[in-house]
Amino acid sequence: MKIFLIGAGQVGATIVQALQDDHELTVLDLDESRLAALSQRYDVATVEGNGASRRVLSSAGVAACDLLIACTSRDESNIVSAMITKAIAPRTTTIVRTTNPEYLEVWREGQLDVDFIVSSEVETANAIVRTIAVPAARQTDVFAEGQVQLVEFDVEHQADSRIIGVPLREVALPPDSRVAGIIRGAEFILPGGADVIRAGDRIVVIGSPQAAVAWGELIEPGTGKVRDVVIFGAGRAGTAVARVLLEQDIGVRLIEASLEQARIVAAELPRARVHHATGLDPDFLERERIADAQVAIFAMRDDLKNHYAATLAKVHGARFTVAIVHEAASVEVFERAGVDVSINPRQVTAEEIVRFAHDPRTQQVAMLEGDRFEVLDITTRSRSDYVGKRFKDMPIRGALIGAIVRDGIAVFPHGEDVLRPGDRAIIFTESRRVSDVERAL
């Protein structure tokens, strides 16, 4: 595949590293030294120039490429690049990186002619939520803008006795959720009402964020819900994380040094508790019992400040710390300092773009158990045989519809519900059946 990449910064470099082996890459940037550094390390073509200029784009040969990735740090420039490319080459797939979640919103409403938008802030927020939302989970994946979660649990002996050894049809499962699979050693069960969960099983659950939390409480009582998260820094990154957490009914305290920004965020997020403080004042940390928070997230703009604040919070007894770091090298520094998780938004963004570049057919795919199972996110065609059928009448063929997204809202279907054309189905299936499922829908 011919791929055109605009922007050779941290995100661009990570993408080049991941894609250069399998694809033919052209990298465009204003900064000659960055291009030189890339072309020395990898076999890529480079063009020096402005990616938002039609003249530069067409003379660099954008018309012949299959995929355009615009990942400079300037949102507007990325969007212009994608739009010019669409005009020159309508069949080219375009991916745009943005830091402003508003563009993501506009794009979702179909107002932006771009095939795929990756928002660093939202991806980072989702990554953090995946890490902390369900402490008992082995792995968490998020679909449909966070409305659907797929969670993998190892069922141990401490799990709630009401779910162990009882046929599933007799268990009061958390609402809006279903058991998508039971993995018992090498055996895989796509569970029906008669199947039982046993200690030692690994189970896969699809459900709403609330249901995922309820499941966590069943599997490992006492760990269930994260209630108290402190976020240092209410800039874009901190606000995006807070918004995602609040949507999942997780209590959030934000600490912001600028009064003006604190006011803006407090107005925007009514349910968050916003403090106007630096977060570096021991008296404040003590008085507000910051150490009692289950998770402390450091999302200030400056890695040095985050580092100091995280260390200070640890000194005060913070249990679990997550840092958003901006320099690639910082990841290691933070981990050395005892920060539990550090996330680099540029890294996360690059990974997301790479994932999409590999397989742009389906909106979002997750792999489980290595590659034994896949979760597909497929939009139903109107000609599908399944349209108009009730879910309980659909023949089970090693696949399970965990949720459908109808008009942007996730619905967790019951047996009597009917599949409609245009529904986005979140499907859990064995990898070997993927093509069957795709054909059927």
Partner 1 sequence: MNRGSAGRLAGRAPSLAVDVRGSLNVVGTLLTYLSASTSVPAGFAIGYGESPWPFLAAGAIAGGFGAGIAFATRGEHRLGVREAFLVVSLTWLAAAALGALPFLISGDPQLDRPVDAFFEGMSGFSTTGGSVVVDVEALPHGLAMWRQLMQWLGGIGIIVLALAVLPRLRVGGRQLLEHEMPGPEIETLRTRIRDTARRVWILYVALTALLFAILLAFGLSGVDEEMSAFHALAHALTTIPTAGFSTKVDSIEGFAAATQWLILVFMVLGGINFALMFRGIVRRQPRAAVRDEELQLYLALLAVGSIVVVAEIWTEDVLPAAEAIRVGLFTAVSTMTTTGFSIADYNTWPALAMMTIVGLMFVGGSAGSTTGSVKVVRHLLLGKILRREIDQTLHPELVLPVRLNRAVVEERTLRAVSSFILLYIGIFVVGAALLAVDAARTGLPLTPFDAVAVSASMLSNVGPAFGIGGPLGSFEPFSDLSTILMIALMWLGRLEIIPIIVLLTRHYWRNV
List residues near partner 1 by CB under 8 A.
256, 259, 262-263, 266-267, 270, 273-277, 284, 288
Minimum CB distance to partner 1, residue 231 (Å): 14
- DSSP SS3 for 167: strand
- Would you say 206 and 413 are in contact if contact means Cβ atoms under 8 Å apart? no
Q: Which is nearer to partner 1, 65 or 262 (CB)?
A: 262
Instruction: Give the shortest CB-270-to-partner 1 separation in angstroms.
Output: 7
Of residues 276 and 406, the one with the C-beta less far from partner 1: 276
Select 256 or 303, whichever has its Cβ closest to partner 1: 256
Neighbour-count burial of 396, counting CB atoms closer than 10 A to its CB (0-12 exposed, 13-18 middle, 19+ buried): exposed
Amino acid at 64: A
Do residues 82 and 96 touch, judged by C-beta distance below 8 A? yes
Query: Cα(349)–Cα(131) distance, rounded to whole angstroms?
Result: 16
Q: Tell me how long the chain is.
A: 441
Q: What is the Rg, in whole angstroms, of the alpha carbon atoms belonging to the chain?
A: 23
Closer to partner 1 by Cβ: residue 56 or 274: 274
Minimum CB separation of residue 267 from partner 1 in Å reads 4
Smallest distance, Å, CB 369 to partner 1?
45
Q: Are 35 and 12 in contact (CB under 8 A)?
A: no
CB nearer partner 1, residue 118 or residue 274: 274
Query: Is the Cβ of residue 86 or residue 316 nearer to partner 1 in the bound state?
Result: 316
On the CB side of 229, CA atoms within 13 Å amount to: 31
- Least distance to partner 1, CB of residue 289, Å: 10
Nearest distance, CB of residue 421 and partner 1, angstroms? 31
Query: Which residue's CB is nearer to partner 1, number 279 or number 402?
Result: 279
Which CB sits closer to partner 1, 178 or 253?
253
Q: d(Cα 159, Cα 136) in Å, to the nearest integer?
A: 10
Nearest to 241 by CA among 417, 106, 121, 79: 121
CB nearer partner 1, residue 110 or residue 270: 270
Question: Residue 215 — left, alpha, or beta (φ > 0 → left; ψ -120 to 50 → alpha)?
Answer: alpha
Rounded to a whole number of angstroms, the minimum distance from the CB of residue 284 to partner 1 is 7
Question: Residue 263 Cβ, how far from partner 1 at the closest point, in Å?
Answer: 6
d(CA 112, CA 116): 10
Q: Which residues of 110-132 are buried (b: 16+ CB within 10 A; e: fewer)?
A: eebebbbbbbbbbbbbbbbbbbb
Residue nearer to partner 1 on the CB measure, 196 or 264: 264
Question: Least distance in Å: CB of 280 to partner 1?
Answer: 13
CA end-to-end span of the chain = 27
CA distances (Å), origin 42, targets 27, 261, 318, 323, 417: 11, 42, 43, 31, 52
Angle at 427 between CA 96 and CA 177, to 5 degrees: 110
Q: Shortest Cβ distance from residue 273 to partner 1 (Å)?
A: 6
- Residue 73 CA, chain-centre distance (Å), reads 20
